[in-house]
Structure 1
Amino acid sequence: MFQQGLSITVNVLAAVGDTYIAGLLTLLLHTSRTGLRRSDSIINKLIICSINTGALTSLCAIASMLSILLAPETFIYISFFFCMGRLYANSLLATLNVRSLIRKEGSSNVQASGDTGSIPLGAYNTSVFNPPSAISVKIDTRREYVSDEEEQKHSESVRSQMDSS
């Protein structure tokens, strides 16, 4: 009887913990949206990834809990319980694998997507011990060609403003 209560407690805590973590992570990611199309699409992919990994482990924990509650004299729950460890390992590996895909998407060419306001992920090395090796700055300029008369009028108006102040 004690072992059954312990198993139920472990399964309930696993199901509640997995659901809580997936829900909280989804809520935090949802509230951190910026309004920029490119960063919001990355956040949406992170939300989907967290829901998928959290839902799978939660469902297995819930199935284990239900099987021990509905059929306490059988060992059906053990099959779900043993699968949970493998699912946690697969969730970890899936999360590690998806990082490179999201990083590639975040550091892709900004001009290709047409959204110039987002910040690419993984493009900045923030470590104090490994500073970036090169920094490049691009300044877009625009030249306007005006006639000599317009330029003379502009310079006279600027001079008159400076003299009056």
Structure 2
Amino acid sequence: MTVHSAGILLYRLRRPPVDDAGDAPEVEVMIGHMGGPFWASKDTAAWSIPKGEYDPDAESAAAAAVREFREELGVDPPAGPAAELGTFPSSSGKRVTVFVADGAGFTPPEDGFGVFEMEWPPRSGRTATFPEVDRAAWFALEDAREKLVKGQRPVLDALLERLREALD
């Protein structure tokens, strides 16, 4: 059975300094560092688009993406349209549908993130609560490419292509 996931990738265009007037705007994306003990000491390949699983028979990918953004970050995504960027396969077999939205003016939250429970330490019989995301931040595409889990990196290429088409 295929597992479906959906999320929203916010982007913003940063204008170059006035003295670099001919340069194209820099693209930044907002991603979250995954919470929990496994990711706590990792930075490279430990960030993700705010996303989560959904049942396509019960919920649309777009509705799931908004719900998951709110659940993971504790805030609603910016008002305005979100465009479907595509569906991307992950190495686990999951299919991730990603929507993009202009996040200009959006400030990532510093707390209030959603939580999950798991047995911790392993085989202890005790349950601990951890944030789904422990921080969120804006990154230039080059930096985001290093920080994102490998399976989500193709999303950045698709975003860049979409923005190039829109800006031409």
Bin of the TM-score, shorter chain as denominator length: under 0.3
Please identify which structure carries the higher helix content: 1
TM-score with structure 2 setting the length: 0.22
TM-score with structure 1 setting the length: 0.22
Please identify which structure carries the higher strand content: 2
